[in-house]
Structure 1
Amino acid sequence: MKTFMQRKEDVQRDWYLVDATGKTLGRLASEIAKILMGKHKPTYTPHVDGGDFVVVVNAEKIFVTGKKLDKKIYYKHTLYPGGLKETPLRKMLQEKPEEVIRLAVRGMLPKNKLRDRRMRRLKVYAGPEHPHKAQNPKPIEL
């Protein structure tokens, strides 16, 4: 019997809805990364992008343990001299809660050519509303 290898023409993509209310940031991000890669499917093949779409709602209600709200710092550089910007997690959650989940999931995906393609299938929204009702996403508990 031959080993099954999925082809990109055979990929069937589903839509999943995840509610981030009260969920721990890292644990949620790792489960979302598995769905984006397609590791939850029996047809998983490492070199084929066979993952599904994930819609995350209530990103502003994410939970972090310990003192990470003040101690975790996000770094960004403007590419100008002295342009290093440091933003604590507490401020990021107030201004851009979607970006917190997006960066956590991005860090948990493999660093290869498929990462950007997988990240395009992640849709994150701060509140409970999302514009993807037509795709009929299945609620999933992580």
Structure 2
Amino acid sequence: MKSYISKPSEVTRKWYLIDAEGKTLGRISTEIARLLRGKHKVTFTPHVDGGDFVIVINADKVVVTGNKTDDKIYRRHTGYIGNMKETNFRKLQQEKPEEIIKLSVRGMLPKNKLRAPMMKRLRLFVGNEHTHAAQSVETLNI
């Protein structure tokens, strides 16, 4: 028996729709990362970007457990000396709610050249509406 190794030209991509309303951040992020990476397919190959497109609606209604609403801190550096900026979960959810899921999924993807194209296939929307009605979108219940 020979092992099957998929090629980038053989990849077929589907569109999935996920509703994040009332879902836990970590649990929904792992499922999104799995779909973006293509691990749900039988043709999964680690060095080939064979994942699918993922649309997330209601990104502002994602929840976290415990005291993470107040205790979870997101850090970023501006590039200047001494300019480490900190924002907690509650403030980031009010200002940029889609950024929470984006950062969570980004941390779960491989840290190599495949991460950027995978992140481009993630589409986040704050409300119930999305702009990808033309694609044949399959709804996933998580």
Give the TM bin, normalised by the shorter chain: over 0.9
In the alignment, what sits opposite 1:116?
116
Q: Distance in 2 between matches of 1:77 and 1:3?
A: 44
Of all paired residues, the percent bearing the same amino acid is 58
1:85 counterpart = 2:85: yes
Write out aligned runs for 1:1-142 (5 A).
Answer: 1-142=1-142
Q: Distance in 2 between matches of 1:94 and 1:101?
A: 13
Instruction: Structure 1 unaligned segments of length 5 or more: list them.
Output: none
Aligned with 2:134: secondary structure? Answer: helix
Q: Across the two proteins, how many residue pairs are aligned to each other?
A: 142
- Measure how far apart 1:136 and its partner are: 2.2
Aligned with 2:87: secondary structure? Answer: strand
- Measure how far apart 1:83 and its partner are: 1.3
Q: Distance in 2 between matches of 1:89 and 1:56?
A: 19
User: Under a length normalisation based on structure 1, what TM-score does the superposition of the two structures give?
Assistant: 0.98
Instruction: Structure 2 unaligned segments of length 5 or more: list them.
Output: none
Q: CA RMSD in A?
A: 0.7
Superposed CA deviations along residues 66-94 of structure 1, whole A, max 9, x for unmatched, are 00011000011111222111100000000
Deviating 4+ runs (over 3 angstroms): none
